[in-house]
Amino acid sequence: MAVLITGGAGYIGSHTCVELLQAGYEIIVLDNYKNSHPESLKRVSHITDRGFKVYQGDLMNEAIIEKVFMENEIEAVIHFAGLKAVGESVQLPLLYYESNITGTVKLCNVMRKFNVKNLVFSSSATVYGVPERIPISEDATLRAQSPYGRTKQMIEEILRDLYISDQNWSIALLRYFNPIGAHESGLIGEAPNGIPNNLMPYITQVAIGKLEVLNIFGNKYPTKDGTGVRDYIHVVDLARGHLCALEKVLSSTGVEAYNLGTGKGYSVFEIVEAFEKAANINIPYRIIEPRKGDIAICYADPSKARRELGWTAEKEIREMCRDSWRWQSQNPNGYMLNREVFSK
């Protein structure tokens, strides 16, 4: 029996593949490579010294999903696949609603057809919108502020309705905070297309010389130094959270949401300072206008995941910065290589 990982070639997906393979699971990856690169999966195989099946395809094509289920014995799905840029979602809302929501519905239809009812869903802390209180717990009001966030919130509701209709389903909704870092090998990491939307890859691309200066969106927030405060979590800790959630859904039924964060908040200036120390590189920056919709402070209450999944984030900010720099310095162009490596 295998675990299907949709979007498994992506940033979080590839690290989760590593964790599952090292824990002894058989995996199958389905990815369309729109926001990822097949090279990442070759490197996953190299890190773990294990092979696995890979299908190239899109969740909008129900036939390819059926093909995967027909050709393999699947016991659970970890669902990462989807569009993920908040800014782009504001410009292209229909694309996001169609891709993220319709793709998930098609996946669940096929899962139901093949009687596979164990699912770990990649949700997001964006479902909380502007939080009522800090730290944010899972019972906070959901009021996503962007089309991207609303797709995650809507999918959560769809999955809750699915469980109400058939209580044999077992579903974990994982609400991520801000993943950064990379595998300690430096072989897999975050490789955004174009100018990064997130802070850490922006910093590392300035450090490597691909970008001239880091834009910091506002320094007048009511925080310790005026810059926004976020909960940054090492991507390997996040990947371990998926392993714990998978073990939970395989041993129970129901639908539960879990925050995956550290429970600590770091400001933009604190992240820049930590990175400069880890990489011994000065990061030039400039303050520009805040982005519409950005909030001052956002960090998790991760106690539910600790109680029910037996999971806690272990890596500190120093390790997050060090591993981010190792990945970027060893892979200045991400997975866009001049030669193939680690082919198996």
Q: Give me the catalytic one of 55, 148, 176, 221.
A: 148
Question: Please, what is the Cα angle at 47 between 43 and 48, to 5 degrees?
Answer: 120
Helices 11-22 and 235-249 pack at an angle, to 10 degrees, of 60
CA distance 107 to 94: 19
Query: Is the link from the previous residue into 196 a cis peptide, with omega within 30 of 0?
Result: no
Token pair for 104: 């998930």
Asked if residues 211 and 202 have their Cβ atoms less than 8 Å apart, the reply is: yes
What number of other Cβ atoms are within 10 A of residue 219's Cβ?
Answer: 17
CA distance 64 to 113: 14
Residue 158: helix, strand or coil by DSSP?
Answer: helix
Q: Specify the length of the chain in residues.
A: 344
Residue 59: helix, strand or coil by DSSP?
Answer: coil
Q: Is 148 a catalytic residue?
A: yes
Residue 7: helix, strand or coil by DSSP?
Answer: coil
Asked if residues 69 and 117 have their Cβ atoms less than 8 Å apart, the reply is: no
CA torsion sign, 63 to 68 to 72 to 76? negative
Q: Which amino acid is residue 5, in one-letter code?
A: I
Q: Which amino acid is residue 329, in one-letter code?
A: S
Token pair for 10: 């992506």
User: Facing residues of 3 across strands?
Assistant: 27, 76
Instruction: Name the nearest CA neighbour of 21 among 80, 65, 78, 70.
Output: 78
Residue 298: helix, strand or coil by DSSP?
Answer: strand
Element (H, E) at 4: strand 2-6
Report, as residue numbers or ranges, the catalytic residues. 148
